[in-house]
């Protein structure tokens, strides 16, 4: 009996003929442990904004809006710190002038028109102000002078309350004496002259005029006798 042509079979089913060869599927090699895979494309949340991307070992990156907010906060904090430093330096620069001020006191029986802030002068030049006023046990007006300008004042300096013009404001005039020893901060001026009251001065002038008129001899009459 003649044999039929030989057929080749493959696979588990010996009855099925050999199908055409199919391409083998390709597989990507898994990353070696310890190596980080490349980040995927960012996911778009809203137009113009992206979700922060996570990087291995670097944390989360900031978006543009967050970067602007962070930059604005940093600038504001820097500006505030600069203002505080400038204010501290300005206050520190004014302290030495206050520390160098000489404080002198003087007692008056009357200090009419004198108050805190009244000028203190030497030869008509302002060298300080009245910084305090109080009464002592003898009911005298004790004034404190704060002298900011350097002025060599002897111990026998006199403090006189004067008026700037006939009807002007009051001020304290310091008249230096001739002693060699100078006044120091905290000393008291012993020679003082009280404030002159205009009303009292006018009354004194009128009274002296009356007294002079009463003491003057009467002039002889020039009328002819009959």
Mean pLDDT check: name the lowest of 19-28, 118-127, 169-178. 19-28
Q: pLDDT tens, 59-89?
A: 556 677 888 888 888 989 999 899 988 887 7
Q: Are 125 and 151 in contact (CB under 8 A)?
A: no
Position 49 scores a pLDDT of: 53
Buried/exposed 1-10: b ≥16 CB within 10 Å, e otherwise: eeeeeeeeee
pTM of the model: 0.47
Tell which wins on pLDDT, 96 or 124.
124
Position 56 scores a pLDDT of: 44
Q: pLDDT tens, 167-225?
A: 788 999 999 988 888 888 889 998 998 877 766 667 778 877 878 888 876 655 555 55
């Amino acid at each position: 009996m003649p044999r039929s042509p030989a057929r080749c079979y493959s696979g588990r089913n010996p009855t099925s003929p050999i199908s055409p060869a199919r391409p083998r599927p390709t597989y990507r090699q898994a990353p070696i442990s310890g190596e980080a895979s490349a980040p995927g494309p960012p996911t778009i949340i809203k137009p113009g904004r992206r979700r922060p991307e996570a990087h291995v070992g670097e944390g989360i990156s900031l978006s543009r809006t967050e970067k602007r907010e962070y930059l604005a906060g940093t600038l504001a904090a820097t500006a505030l710190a600069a203002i505080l430093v400038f204010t501290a330096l300005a206050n520190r620069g004014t302290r030495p002038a206050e520390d160098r001020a000489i404080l002198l006191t003087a007692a008056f029986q009357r200090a009419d028109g004198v108050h805190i802030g009244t000028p203190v002068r030497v030869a008509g030049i302002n060298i300080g102000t009245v910084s305090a006023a109080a009464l002592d046990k003898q009911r005298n007006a004790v004034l404190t002078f704060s002298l900011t300008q350097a002025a060599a004042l002897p111990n026998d300096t006199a403090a006189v309350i004067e008026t700037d013009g006939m009807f002007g404001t009051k001020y304290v005039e310091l008249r230096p004496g001739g002693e060699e020893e100078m006044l120091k901060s905290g000393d008291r001026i012993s020679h003082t002259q009280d404030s002159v009251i205009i009303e009292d001065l006018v009354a004194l002038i009128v009274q002296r005029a009356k007294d002079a008129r009463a003491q003057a001899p009467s002039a002889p009459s020039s009328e002819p006798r009959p």
